[in-house]
Structure 1
Amino acid sequence: MSLRTPELLTTQVTSSQFVLFRDNEVEQQPSSEDVDSLSFWYEWIANAYSNVDELQFMNYGYADFDEHIDNDSNYCSKQLYKEVLAQVSLTNQTVLEVSCGRGAGAVWCVDNYVPDSYVGADLSSGVIDVCRQRHSMKPRLSFVVADATKYLPFANESLDIVICVEATHAYGGPIAVKQFASEVARVLRPNGYFLWCDLCHIDGSDTSIDYLTANGKLIVEEKINITRNVLHALDIQSNTRTQFIERYVRPREQEYFRLFAGLPGTPMYNGMDEGRIQYWRAIFRKKTTTDMSITRVRRLSFPSIPHY
């Protein structure tokens, strides 16, 4: 049976390479002007620690309030994907995941939801090289380099679903997020779904649901504040992440990693705990006409999904 794949257009995106290895240590340090760039840190860490299992997922995670044990370093990260996908089926759909990182979420989605095709896109050519090396034999899964804030290399109305997990806050501000949303709307088929989650500063300095709907082409089907669940996940994972930092990261880099990991006591964690930052997940649908009324997403029943 042939798979229905989205039409991939040719584009060229360049990305600098940051990392060399020796005994699990990073040989090239980020310069001082880069340390405040979230996008730089995502790419730098993803490249530098590409062989470390604990960093195959790079999101904060999600946990229900009755969950308290972290016996799998990736469990909460998988739960975040499960939460984002809870009401829309990927089965037999053409799917794009934007800012896919090293592809662990993409692999998990393909294994558990059986899409027709699944493409992971990321700005970093180095990260995409890692994805291709690790997952080249996975059926229905492929990877492409793309800057989602400028151009997604897919034909108009060629995708059923676009996914973006905890990435838009690093895109560089409202203008970039709005451009990204316009690209999402362009590549989605009519009535296609955009499944999103991210943290948002309440001052609107990075990303927001309003920015994602500013073009008038995406309508909100559902939005849920999951800040407390994300904080609970960070609490559950704090010991594991602290141990990872102490084991793998050189002392002079450890503070940056604590900030990046959202450990309790860091500005990101405190911002969510004190209400200055909120973590939302949302389902958007592409309009077919300008006067389409908003409807709720039909809840779908899924079989129990095993956790690995």
Structure 2
Amino acid sequence: IGLDFFLLESYVAKPTLSRSAPVCDDVVKCQQKSENFDRLSLWYKNISSIYTNVNELQFMNWGYADLDEHIDDNTGYYSKKLYQQVLANITLTDQNILEVGCGRGAGAAWCVRTYASRSYVGMDPSGDVISLCEQCYSTIPRLSFMIADPKTHLSFQNESMDVVLSLETTKIFDEIIAVKRFVDEITRVLTPNGYFLWCGLCNVDGSSLLIDYLTGNNAFIIKEKVNITRNVLHALDIQSNSRTDFIDRYIQPAEQEYCRLFAGLPGTELYDNMQQGRAEYWRVVFRKKTTKKTPIV
């Protein structure tokens, strides 16, 4: 399940990196976007109490499917494949890993079991979600969870993380300044030559505010950038019936429209924007340069 919708409109016009850019200049439209953001954020914070059976709702990303795959086994298979794509060609063994926006924790648990990292920290701004993560996965060695808001401060020492990953977490960037703060914090906590791994919605040319700031601060270079829109759309198609069934069974009617958007179901604005070529879904590998001086905090 993804929450990239808010920045989809916000980053259509690229900001100049040397100055602040408004999220929107239409007061009514801006208020509507803010209300939608607040409502979806509240739904996200309450998701741990909506349904706690991790066997049915383990993951919160949209997933990745090869174009010849068609079976929805409702085990999180396609969400795991999205993690595999984001982590492709990156060594995680004996590395210190930070996942920003870990959701319900299944992805973090799967990564630790699969890649044998030295440490893996899943962080999320929702205390309820982190409580659920700890309830489900506290016995897994080398895995921990913490409540933190990445648009303010990452509570880690300078150059203490080898890899930072972020899947579909632009929901946290409700203002342009939050993007800049996040980029500064990633720069600070990553080791020289460390990696920031990201996937999410972009403009049709593969650009986004986050990508612009990451490359504009001269601290990162793009090692790999892959358009996976067709694969994400295919995963959403495959999972459409099971996710629609989940929403019908467990979500109150008044909130179902937002939940369908949240889930990227066919017929929603997010899905249609990708399907009709108005937006794209990319995964990007950023490597931190060794020449950038790390900010002191």
User: 2:51 maps to which residue?
Assistant: 49
Larger relative contact order (CA 8 Å, sep ≥ 6): 2
Pair 1:217 & 2:219 matched: yes
Pair 1:285 & 2:287 matched: yes
Name the SS for the 1:53 alignment partner.
coil
Which has the larger displacement, 200-209 or 249-258? 200-209
User: 2:138 maps to which residue?
Assistant: 136
2:153 and 2:138 map into 1 onto residues whose CA distance is 24
1:257-272 map, 5 Å: 257-272=259-274
Q: Which sections of structure 1, spanning at least 5 residues, go unmatched?
A: 1-31, 291-308
Aligned residues: 259
User: 1:306 maps to which residue?
Assistant: none
1:219 and 1:289 map into 2 onto residues whose CA distance is 12
1:233-252 map, 5 Å: 233-252=235-254
User: 2:64 maps to which residue?
Assistant: 62
Alignment check: 8 A CA contact 1:91 1:113 kept: yes
Give deviations 1:23-49, integer Å, cap 9, x for gaps. xxxxxxxxx975433433322324433
Give deviations 1:130-172, integer Å, cap 9, x for gaps. 1112111110000111111110000000111111111024421
2:202 and 2:172 map into 1 onto residues whose CA distance is 10
From the superposition, tell whether residues 205 and 88 of structure 1 become closer, same or farther in structure 2 (CA, over 3 Å). Answer: closer
Pair 1:36 & 2:50 matched: no
User: With structure 2 as the length reference, what TM-score do the two structures score?
Assistant: 0.81
- Cα shift at 1:89: 1.5
The letter of the residue matching 1:36 is: F
User: 2:234 maps to which residue?
Assistant: 232
Which has the larger displacement, 108-117 or 52-61? 52-61
Give deviations 1:177-227, integer Å, cap 9, x for gaps. 221111111000100111111112459997442133232212111111111
The letter of the residue matching 2:137 is: H
User: 1:174 maps to which residue?
Assistant: 176
Pair 1:111 & 2:113 matched: yes
From the superposition, tell whether residues 36 and 206 of structure 1 become closer, same or farther in structure 2 (CA, over 3 Å). Answer: farther
Q: How large is the Cα RMSD of the aligned pairs?
A: 2.2
User: 2:185 maps to which residue?
Assistant: 183
User: 2:258 maps to which residue?
Assistant: 256
1:169 and 1:255 map into 2 onto residues whose CA distance is 17
Name the SS for the 1:213 alignment partner.
helix
Give deviations 1:61-97, integer Å, cap 9, x for gaps. 1111111111234111111001101110111101111
The letter of the residue matching 1:122 is: D
1:204 and 1:161 map into 2 onto residues whose CA distance is 22
1:248 and 1:61 map into 2 onto residues whose CA distance is 21
User: With structure 1 as the length reference, what TM-score do the two structures score?
Assistant: 0.78
Give deviations 1:262-295, integer Å, cap 9, x for gaps. 11111000011122221110101111015xxxxx
User: 1:85 maps to which residue?
Assistant: 87
The letter of the residue matching 1:152 is: L
Name the SS for the 1:95 alignment partner.
strand
From the superposition, tell whether residues 124 and 205 of structure 1 become closer, same or farther in structure 2 (CA, over 3 Å). Answer: farther
Alignment check: 8 A CA contact 1:107 1:141 kept: yes
Which has the larger displacement, 167-176 or 114-123? 167-176
User: 1:71 maps to which residue?
Assistant: 73
User: 1:199 maps to which residue?
Assistant: 201
2:262 and 2:113 map into 1 onto residues whose CA distance is 28
From the superposition, tell whether residues 65 and 200 of structure 1 become closer, same or farther in structure 2 (CA, over 3 Å). Answer: same
Alignment check: 8 A CA contact 1:152 1:183 kept: yes
2:217 and 2:290 map into 1 onto residues whose CA distance is 14
From the superposition, tell whether residues 205 and 50 of structure 1 become closer, same or farther in structure 2 (CA, over 3 Å). Answer: farther
User: 2:128 maps to which residue?
Assistant: 126
1:219 and 1:185 map into 2 onto residues whose CA distance is 12
Alignment check: 8 A CA contact 2:127 2:147 kept: yes
1:258 and 1:59 map into 2 onto residues whose CA distance is 13
User: 1:98 maps to which residue?
Assistant: 100
Which has the larger displacement, 74-83 or 195-204? 195-204
